[in-house]
Amino acid sequence: MRAVKLTLILALLSVFCLAQTALANKFEDEAAKEKEAVKLVRDTQKGGYGLVSTTELKEWIDAGKKMVIVDTMPFEDSYKKEHIPGAVNFVFPIPDMEKWDAKETGGKTEADYVKLLGPDKNKTIVIYCGFVKCTRSHNGAIWAKKLGYKNVYRFPGGIFAWKGAGYPVEAVK
């Protein structure tokens, strides 16, 4: 009987310790989410572009909205393997790209980006990368705005959120 009580006490103590750890992790997780959210908002304000959610982007695609969707991930490592259906590829770096740097864009120029986005400066442009913390999409959105495009949106969840929602992807054959 004494062994059963001791086992029960140890089990309860273990559950209590796990609960405390989970609670501490919950607070740390929330602090990390807040940090990401504030950075996203500040980047968006700085860039002057909008945000689009996974659900909204899927609705736009399903409705046949005229837009250019740009995947900013490296071609070989990411885009070629999987991307949002209809997306085109244009690589941007992760660090802020204040000045155009063709070394960071796979050798491509501002003129190449304009050609990809098209002549209609009022067309909806959606830029994405891998996930919320990835800032390639921020660079792509800022440069679209700098080049005069008016309806620029960043899809911050990127391919991870797209796949997480169970939406289809394409690959380059």
At residue 73, does pLDDT exceed 90? yes
Residue 22 to residue 93: CA distance in whole angstroms: 36
With contact defined as beta carbons under 8 Å apart, do 155 and 137 qualify? yes
φ/ψ bin of 107: left (φ > 0), alpha (ψ from -120 to 50), beta (otherwise):
left
pTM: 0.83
- For residue 143, the model assigns a pLDDT of 98
Phi, psi angle pair for 85, to nearest 5°? -50, 130
Confidence of residue 133 (pLDDT cuts 50, 70, 90): confident
Query: For residue range 25-39, what is the model confidence (pLDDT) as tens digits?
Result: 888 888 888 888 888
The pLDDT of residue 77 is 84
**Could you report the per-residue pLDDT of 11-66, keeping only the tens digit for each?**
555 656 555 666 568 888 888 888 888 888 888 899 999 999 999 999 999 999 99
What's the rounded Cα separation, in Å, for the pair 143 and 105?
A: 12
